[in-house]
Amino acid sequence: MGSEDLFHKRKARNGDALQRPKNTQTKNKRYHIVCEGAKTEPYYFRDMLADLQVRPHVVRIAPNDGNSPDRIVAHALKLYQDDAISGDAFDAVYCVFDRDEHSTFDAAVERIHTLSGQGTPLVAITSTPCFEVWLLLHFACNAKPFRRVGKKTADDQVVSALKRQPGFGSYEKSQKSVYTQLKTRMSDALGHAAALRKQGVAMGSINPATEIDLLVSTLLALGKC
């Protein structure tokens, strides 16, 4: 099964899974986020959770254990299983990783689909080609595909585009305070991400694309929990 098919099937499935916590949130629900990046994504989500006053026991951000999609899924599954042994399993574990040039991307997404179908609440939150697509969407809804050009990867191309935006000329991965810098543009980013995903389905393209907005919407609903 190719990336395009996986994306189309996953979009509806993840949309439902990510909306459930919003409609049924309770103080007893607990969520875990496992990120591919060791710093970039965790910094963003930690700043967001602190700003929303979401208590640490409600949403945990796990240190990663390898940065390939298959390692992210394996680690997320272990965290869920270890917690389940204690009798208080996480209500959902979100696996945040990039398409980039990872050879295990499709298999990782498919494994999450299989595990979810078996009752293990893992949810894939992916970006193509990388997390910075979400940051870029705070400025505009860019639908132009990002491709490798010579030694410059698609990921590099997204970062270069981001550096052309106001206040991001010196952006580097692992940079702190990105959420704080962009939060006033959040509503724009949410709208752009949804529009880009809709256009991607219509055009049969997932480059660029991100599902970070779905996770962000869920976290926004947990404010002050």
The model's pLDDT over 46-73, given as tens digits with 9 standing for 90+, comes to 999 999 999 999 999 988 888 899 999 9
Can you list the alpha helix ranges (DSSP code H) found in the chain? 3-24, 40-52, 69-85, 105-117, 132-136, 154-163, 178-182, 186-203, 212-220
Q: Residue 217 has what pLDDT?
A: 96
Contact between 196 and 212 (Cβ < 8 Å)? no
Domain ranges of the chain: 3-220
Confidence of residue 93 (pLDDT cuts 50, 70, 90): very high
The model's pLDDT over 113-154, given as tens digits with 9 standing for 90+, comes to 999 999 999 999 999 999 999 999 999 998 999 999 999 999
Residue 23 in this model has a pLDDT that exceeds 70: no
DSSP code, position 64: P
Phi, psi at 42, each rounded to 5°: -60, -40
